[in-house]
């Protein structure tokens, strides 16, 4: 009976160890993958904390942080462009429809 208790304890400990290892692996994911998983608010928070992180880095890590910021700025720029073009497209269609609705209905 005591052996079965030890076997169960050993099994539970290995299960807990697996969970801890899985958590460590998920915590070690790349920054972009974490941001991709989250929402835009986490992205904005990450961008706001950039200055604090950048000051604490030295050497190659500082260069890496700098280029990471440049890349995320480009992502944000492209995202803003797509939003603007979609809005301008909708606006253009509304203007055309409002302006030429009567003409199109007559013919």
DSSP per-residue letters across the chain: -HHHHHHHHHHHHHHHHHHHHHHHHHHTS-HHHHHHHS-HHHHHHHHHTHHHHHHH--THHHHHHHHHHHHHHHHHHHHHHHHHHHHHHHHHHHHHHHHHHHHHHH-
Residue 11 has pLDDT above 70, yes or no: no
Residue 77 has pLDDT above 70, yes or no: yes
Q: Where are the domains of the chain?
A: 1-31, 38-106
Does the model's pTM come out above 0.85? Answer: no
Mean pLDDT of the chain: 72
pLDDT classification of 87: cutoffs 50, 70, 90:
confident
pLDDT classification of 61: cutoffs 50, 70, 90:
confident
């Amino acid at each position: 009976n005591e052996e079965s208790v030890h076997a169960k304890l050993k099994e539970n400990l290995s299960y807990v160890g697996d969970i801890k290892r899985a958590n460590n692996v998920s915590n070690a994911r790349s920054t972009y993958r974490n941001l991709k998983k989250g929402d835009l608010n986490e992205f904005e928070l990450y961008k706001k904390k950039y200055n604090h992180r950048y000051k604490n880095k030295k050497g190659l890590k500082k260069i890496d942080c700098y280029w990471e910021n440049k890349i995320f700025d480009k992502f944000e720029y492209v995202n803003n462009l797509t939003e603007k073009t979609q809005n301008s497209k909708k606006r253009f269609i509304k203007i055309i429809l409002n302006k030429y609705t009567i003409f199109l209905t007559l013919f």
